[in-house]
Amino acid sequence: MEATLSKRDKIVEAALSLFAERGYDGTTVPMIADKAEVGTGTIYRYFENKEALVNALFQDCVKRFNDVVKRDFPDSGSVREQFQHVFHGMVRFAKENIHGFYFVDTHSNARYLDPESRESFRQLMDFFHAYAARGIQQGMIRPLQADVLIAIVFGAFTKVFTLIRAGKLTETPEMLRQIEESCWDAVSVHANKE
Contact residues for a second copy (CB under 8 A)?
22-26, 109, 111, 142, 144-145, 147-148, 151-160, 162-163, 166, 168-169, 175, 178-179, 182-183, 185-187, 190-192, 194
Residue 41, binding choice from DNA, a second copy, none, Cβ under 5 to 8 Å by partner class:
DNA
Give yes or no for a contact between 104 and 58, defined as CB atoms under 8 angstroms apart: yes
Out of 50, 103, 160, 183, the residue judged to bind DNA by CB under 7 A: 50
Question: What gap in Å lies between CA 73 and CA 76, rounded to an integer?
Answer: 9
Question: What gap in Å lies between CA 126 and CA 65, rounded to an integer?
Answer: 14
**Among residues 31 and 125, whose Cβ is nearest to DNA?**
31
Residue 185, binding choice from DNA, a second copy, none, Cβ under 5 to 8 Å by partner class:
a second copy
How far, in whole angstroms, is CA 46 from its chain's centroid? Answer: 24
Residue 29, binding choice from a second copy, DNA, none, Cβ under 5 to 8 Å by partner class:
DNA
Task: Tell me which residue of 157, 4, 24 sits closest to 89, measured CA to CA.
Answer: 157
Question: What gap in Å lies between CA 110 and CA 87, rounded to an integer?
Answer: 25
Question: What gap in Å lies between CA 107 and CA 20, rounded to an integer?
Answer: 9
**Among residues 31 and 156, whose Cβ is nearest to DNA?**
31
**Among residues 41 and 167, whose Cβ is nearest to DNA?**
41
Torsion of CA 40, 104, 99, 172, to 10 degrees: 180
Least distance (Å) between residue 54 CB and DNA: 10
Residues that bind DNA (CB under 7 A): 7, 27-31, 37-45, 49-51
